[in-house]
Amino acid sequence: MSYTELRAGFIPLVDAAPLIVAKELGFAEEEGLTLTLRRAPSWSTLRDMLVLGQIEAAHMLAPLPVAMGLGLGGMARRIDVLAVTSTNGNVIGVSTAVAHALRDAHAPLEFGNALTAGRALIGLGRPLRIGVPFPFSMHAELLHYWLAALGMPATQSLDIRTVPPPLMAAAIAAHEIDAFCVGEPWGSIAVDTGVGELLLPTSAIRSSAPEKVLAVRQGWADAEPRLAGRLMRAVWRACRWLGNASNRITTAEILRQPAYLGVSAEIIDRALSGRLVTRSDGLEQDVPGFMDFFGPGATFPWKSQAAWIGGQLAARTGTDRAMAISAARDVFRTDLYRRHLRDTGAEFPLADDKIEGAVAAPTAVPAITGTMILSPDRFFDGRIFGPSAEI
Amino acid sequence: MPNTLSIVIIEKECARAQLIVEALSAEASYHVQVISDFTGLRESIAACNPDVVLIDLTNPSRDILEELTMASSPLERPVAMFVDQSETMLTQQAVDAGVSAYVVNGLQPDRIRPVLDAAIARFHLFHRLRAELDATKRALEERKVIDRAKAILIRSRNMTEDDAYALLRKTAMDKGRRIADVAEALITAASMLR
């Protein structure tokens, strides 16, 4: 069998695991692919590498391709989303000073309660500077959603600014930011360096938020259907493998290598197991579903997910809402997912849309083969969003 | 005579910043500033009020510039990465060289082109200089290792220096490895037997 080389880029994060596992455990090889992985120093550089043809595929923040579809950001090109590769997995933390202020002003803070934590933060009555990895990220979307839903006047007192994850702990230490929302391992590293405390996993704001996606240049998957199919199947199988809890230790061992994350397996395992150390004195919290790679409907690139992101971005940037939603929907390629994963055993919903935020408990929905069970998906304030507009 | 173009270079490495400054300063119509401290980068950029920002692609702080592409930035002058459709080749060359340019919207492409050309040339030059430096350092390092391995052979097997080197070279050839690797292995083994 002859192998075709395919280049894919990633950012050193725990949720880059699907591409890394696809290569390391031979899922790519099984599809006749030699996957060459390139680590990128920043999201904008990863995007440019993809758009300008230095790589064929990338692990990407779900809102980034949607923002590009809306014409936002530094690179005026389009990319396609082939699958969702992870759900949730970010943490919100505050500086030690803010943590003390919260404790002085309120009763003991309950970790993981979006309502009380948000009210307590707003109750401090001071402007908040919050670091996020990128302006177009689920981190930024969920922070805006969370604090706006609790009535924080967005423009005057909320300053959500970009801080590269490796510099997040330093930015907190230097008082450049008061809080952060970041993907693992960087939140845990802020805790371990003693500069911050964790307040919430982002799953407390929305229980099933699409986090990272498999992205390719617009048109590439249509021009190279066989290659795209092989890549999609390899990554999907890697996600399925990652969804098996007994593979956790192996995963941490693979990811900790210097070429990938280069941090200790113990820190990586916190995210994979959902057992977070939230304070530098070692306090541990269990977060079921902290970061998920697999589940029924979890890897499917629902058009309604793209529409939700598009709607939020439109509201924030003053873009026309209907146009933004329509452009966003085009970015998530359910057609390619249905075509290329047909023979893998993947489940397909009948519809390309679901009501976002409407699944309170595991729910059966019509699928190509009978039914499939969707995992719970709720916003902390109980709002729901229809396929193309807010309900 | 066009107005002076204000250029900011975001670069931690003094040597590289200096190379680009030299290349651009020759042009009287450029005002060049360097930011090498990335704390409070947004504010530093806003204070310089630049027309063009040049940044190394390997710098993680580059993502901060993306924020400035949104109109609500403190700069309040929307910027864009330099990717004019007609200039794809130039952008490609820039990315290959490892530099990216953000320009304030409305700036004529013909004014940014010479800036970017100069930056690309200097980035290439810098890579080449650094590669040469690394190669020299490595060679020096390897010579030291080989000398230590020779010393071990001379001491423990009563060899002459030439014979010691010949043995290292022969072993390397037989094993299909580099002399420096064989020397390294010998030093490690010797330290364990001591």
- Residue-wise pLDDT tens digits, A51-65: 988 999 999 999 999
Report the domain count for chain B. Answer: 2
Question: What is residue B81's predicted lDDT score, i.e. its pLDDT?
Answer: 65
Q: Do B60 and A161 touch (CB under 8 A)?
A: no
What would the pLDDT profile of A346-389 be if each residue is shown by its tens digit? 888 989 999 899 888 888 888 887 888 888 899 999 999 986 55
Question: What is residue A1's predicted lDDT score, i.e. its pLDDT?
Answer: 56
Q: Are residues B22 and B93 in the same domain?
A: yes
Rounded CA-CA distance A121/A233 in Å is 44
Q: Are A61 and A70 in contact (CB under 8 A)?
A: no
Nearest to A135 among B38, B39, B66 (CB): B66
Best of B10, B38, B42, B67 to substitute, by most chain A Cβ atoms within 10 angstroms, is: B67
B81 CB neighbours in chain A (<8 A) are: 44, 48, 74-75
What's chain A's average pLDDT? Answer: 91
Closest CA to A187 of A158, A223, A163, A211: A163
In this prediction, residues A312-329 reach a mean pLDDT of 91
- pLDDT above 90: residue A211: yes
- pLDDT above 90: residue A300: yes
Q: Are residues B84 and B144 in the same domain?
A: no
Report the domain count for chain A. Answer: 2
Question: What is residue B88's predicted lDDT score, i.e. its pLDDT?
Answer: 66
- pLDDT above 60: residue B74: no
Q: Do B66 and A48 touch (CB under 8 A)?
A: no
User: Of the residues B94, B116, B131, which one is the last residue of a structural domain?
Assistant: B131
Chain A residues near any Cβ of chain B (below 8 Å): 41-45, 48-49, 52-54, 72-77, 133-136, 161-167, 170-171, 174, 176, 317
A391 — pLDDT class (breaks 50, 70, 90) = very low
In this prediction, residues A205-226 reach a mean pLDDT of 96
Top-confidence residue, B57 or A314: A314
A136 CB neighbours in chain B (<8 A) are: 66
Q: What percent of chain B has pLDDT over 90?
A: 28
Q: Are residues A321 and A281 in the same domain?
A: no
Q: Are residues B122 and B139 in the same domain?
A: no
- Which structure tokens are listed for B33? 């500033």
Is the alpha carbon torsion for A98, A104, A110, A114 positive or negative? negative
Nearest C-alpha in A relative to B80: A74
Answer yes or no: is A361 within a domain: no
Domain that holds residue B170: 135-193
Rounded CA-CA distance A260/A24 in Å is 11
Q: Are residues A107 and A247 in the same domain?
A: no
Q: Are B58 and B103 in contact (CB under 8 A)?
A: no
Question: What is residue B19's predicted lDDT score, i.e. its pLDDT?
Answer: 81
Question: What is residue B1's predicted lDDT score, i.e. its pLDDT?
Answer: 40
Rounded CA-CA distance A56/A35 in Å is 10
- pLDDT above 70: residue A314: yes
Q: Are A246 and A120 in contact (CB under 8 A)?
A: no
Q: Do A134 and B61 touch (CB under 8 A)?
A: no
Q: Are residues A44 and A13 in the same domain?
A: yes
Question: What is residue B23's predicted lDDT score, i.e. its pLDDT?
Answer: 79
Question: What is residue B92's predicted lDDT score, i.e. its pLDDT?
Answer: 74
User: Of the residues B115, B131, B147, which one is the last residue of a structural domain?
Assistant: B131
- pLDDT above 80: residue B2: no
Question: What is residue B56's predicted lDDT score, i.e. its pLDDT?
Answer: 83
Nearest C-alpha in B relative to A67: B70
- pLDDT above 90: residue B186: yes
Measured CA distances, A340 to A230, A333, A383 (Å): 8, 11, 34
Top-confidence residue, B86 or B107: B107
Closest CA to A265 of A188, A211, A194, A212: A188
A162 CB neighbours in chain B (<8 A) are: 63-64, 66-67
Rounded CA-CA distance A180/A160 in Å is 9
- pLDDT above 80: residue A109: no
Q: Are residues A199 and A108 in the same domain?
A: yes
The separation between CA B134 and the C-alpha centre of its own chain, rounded to angstroms, equals 12
- pLDDT above 60: residue A174: yes
The CA-based angle A166-A168-A171, given to 5 degrees, is: 125
- pLDDT above 70: residue B76: no
Q: Are residues B166 and B189 in the same domain?
A: yes
* B5-10 and B52-56 strand pairing: parallel
Q: Are residues A48 and A107 in the same domain?
A: no
Domain that holds residue A336: 4-87+210-260+293-349
- pLDDT above 80: residue A157: no
Q: Are residues B126 and B159 in the same domain?
A: no
- pLDDT above 60: residue B84: no
The separation between CA B105 and the C-alpha centre of its own chain, rounded to angstroms, equals 28
Answer yes or no: is A300 within a domain: yes
Q: Are residues B127 and B141 in the same domain?
A: no
What would the pLDDT profile of A243-289 be if each residue is shown by its tens digit? 999 999 999 999 999 999 999 999 999 999 999 999 888 889 999 88
- pLDDT above 50: residue B75: no
State which of A134-148, B67-81, B126-140 shows the largest mean pLDDT: A134-148
Q: What percent of chain A has pLDDT over 90?
A: 71
- Which structure tokens are listed for B86? 């007609």
CATH number of the structural domain spanning residue A162:
3.40.190.10
B112 — pLDDT class (breaks 50, 70, 90) = confident
Q: Are residues B116 and B158 in the same domain?
A: no
The pTM (predicted TM-score) of the whole model is 0.85
